[in-house]
Amino acid sequence: MSIIRAMLSLLALTSLGAAPLPAMQDGSSRQKPPGEGVLCLWAISTAMEEVGRRCTAGQDKEFQLALSEGNVKLRSFVLANSDMTVEGATAFQKQMAHKDMPTAEMCQGDTLSLYELMRKNGAAKHRSSVDEHVAKPGTPSWGACL
């Protein structure tokens, strides 16, 4: 299963109201430690910003702006809370954006489906997710972001 397909499956579950974090044995839900999921969300958001730029340019500008602004916040959080350098952050974003992927390949299948699902969830939901992930200082990790 491709990483995009896995992300699409997870996002579909959360869009349908599935609990983002499993319940503990005592019935409470697990609280994510600060920084958990930041790298995951940044990777997905970076890829989706590139999909928007290359595949749906000029459409749903509010969502594309939310992706761009979110990536600035996520990048700033990672730089402030880890030993990643500016050069490392730039390389991370370049890799996650799949800049070497042909546009025809990017603009179809699972990649475009994930973008469309996130777009349907809306700019406000994306902004809220980013804000939640960067609310408190903590070590950025992949963790659970969807």
Q: How many Cβ atoms sit within 10 Å of the Cβ of residue 35?
A: 20
Max mean pLDDT range (18-22, 88-92, 98-102, 141-145)? 88-92
Q: What is the pLDDT of residues 21-53, one digit of tens each?
A: 444 455 556 688 999 999 999 999 999 999 999
Q: Model confidence at 58, in pLDDT bands (50, 70, 90)? A: confident
Position 132: which residue type? Answer: E
% the chain with pLDDT above 90: 68
Residue listed under structure tokens 């469309």: 116
Is the distance from CB of 82 to CB of 140 less than 8 angstroms?
yes
Integer-rounded Cα Rg, in Å, for the chain is 15
* Structural domain boundaries in the chain: 58-134
**Amino acid 130: pLDDT:** 97
Residue listed under structure tokens 């749903």: 60
> Among the residues of the chain, which ranges form H helices?
3-15, 38-55, 61-81, 86-96, 103-106, 109-121, 123-133
Q: What is the pLDDT of residues 89-101, one digit of tens each?
A: 999 999 999 999 9
* Greatest CA separation for the chain: 49
